[in-house]
Amino acid sequence: MALPVGQQVKYWSIAAAVFLVVLWFLGDVILPFVLGSAIAYFLDPVADRLERAGCSRIVSVVIIAAATTLVFILLILLVIPTLIQQTASLINTAPELFERLQAWLTARFPSLMDANSTVRQQLLAIGETIQSKGGELVNGLLSSALGLINIVVLLIIVPVVAFYMLLDWDNMTAKVDTMLPRDHVETIRRLAREIDHTLASFIRGQGTVCLILGTYYAVGLMVAGLNFGLIVGFIAGLITFIPYVGALVGGVLAVGLALFQFWGSIEVFDGETVSYATNWLRIGIIAGIFFLGQFLEGNILTPKLVGDSVGLHPVWLLFALSVFGSLFGFVGMLVAVPIAAVIGVVTRYALEQYRSSLLYRGMSQDD
């Protein structure tokens, strides 16, 4: 005989409260384990495919670990130093960007750029704020999140956790299945499949789209000659999971930097005035890179990698990231997506049960 609904709700509420308390007190401690588990979840389909190809589980995991290590080493040697350098340079260049914008506004709208004008004062304040806050952010990252101890912890614990989680993933899911309440096992399995489907479409599918687009934008902008192409591509790819926002932010940033870099200017060398024409071709190429990226995302990448599966609404996702990030820090942001998926699936299931209940249909409806 099943437990009354009231008792079941009480037990599940207690379990959720315990989870949130543990997350609150052990957020920083469990960070490597959360990251390792997320990596294992992301790579589990690759291990399953290698097993179907004839490899054992341990061989599959070793192959994945070797390939991942190689990619990580290449990133450390080739990409990350340049990314950090371009980020610092972009922050230091921000005041100059605003000075150029101020000069452009002064030439075309003299009345707006008077010495006591609010617009001019705000532009100067924005430039100084970006430089100061950006420098504080970089210094904070280097001194805390990227400190020596944290680097050692992340570089050692995360790969080890990911390796063992990936190795035992199928066994762990089977053991969890044996612990499910027998009266509700089929319902829980169904909800778990829907949650996995949602997470797979978002984390694996949309994550792959972000990676491909970020690489495309970074390489394309660097080849086009944009000074900060790598960091712009990284930003655009990172937020591509929010429809249109990644392309909009990345496109505006890239075109704005292109205008700053390739706009015509006048300089004086040895007493002679030298005029540089605006390079509209370069500016057009950079804008075209983002238009092509949006075409590839909407017509090829997202339909193939994400498909028509039910994902997470951008507004709901941003709300979950904001709430869990403010309450539990960086770890909260990592678990926000899975928890948002769980809440979304459970909510849809609850609405489905409501529509089939007498409360919704009423006594006059036929069964």
| pLDDT of 61 | 92
Residues 219 and 131 in one domain: no
Q: Is residue 335 part of a domain?
A: no
**CA distances in angstroms from 88 to 81, 91, 249, listed in the order given:** 11, 5, 19
Q: Is residue 127 part of a domain?
A: yes
Residues 44 and 154 in one domain: yes
Q: Which domain holds residue 90?
A: 25-172
Given 172, 197, 220, the domain boundary residue is 172
Residues 167 and 242 in one domain: no
Residues 135 and 43 in one domain: yes
Residues 132 and 188 in one domain: no
* Type of residue at 38: A
Given 172, 197, 216, the domain boundary residue is 172
Q: How many domains does the chain have?
A: 2
Residues 202 and 156 in one domain: no
| pLDDT of 150 | 62
pTM recorded for the entire structure: 0.66
| pLDDT of 228 | 81
Q: Is residue 51 part of a domain?
A: yes
d(CA 314, CA 213): 18
d(CA 318, CA 312): 10
Given 128, 151, 172, the domain boundary residue is 172
| pLDDT of 145 | 45
Residues 140 and 232 in one domain: no
Determine contact, residues 286/221, Cβ cutoff 8 Å: yes
Q: Is residue 137 part of a domain?
A: yes
Residues 200 and 166 in one domain: no
Locate 12 and state its tokens. Answer: 């599940």
Residues 113 and 250 in one domain: no
Q: Is residue 17 part of a domain?
A: no
Q: Is residue 54 part of a domain?
A: yes
Determine contact, residues 33/43, Cβ cutoff 8 Å: no
Kindly report, residue by residue over 166-204, the tens digit of the pLDDT.
999 889 988 988 888 887 788 888 888 888 888 877 777
Determine contact, residues 23/335, Cβ cutoff 8 Å: yes
Residues 76 and 106 in one domain: yes
Q: Per-10-residue mean pLDDT for the chain, 367 residues long?
A: 68 81 76 84 89 90 91 79 73 67 62 58 60 53 51 76 90 88 84 84 80 89 85 83 74 82 59 62 87 84 67 72 78 78 84 81 62
Determine contact, residues 197/178, Cβ cutoff 8 Å: no
| pLDDT of 24 | 78
Residues 29 and 163 in one domain: yes
Residues 153 and 218 in one domain: no
Q: Is residue 286 part of a domain?
A: yes
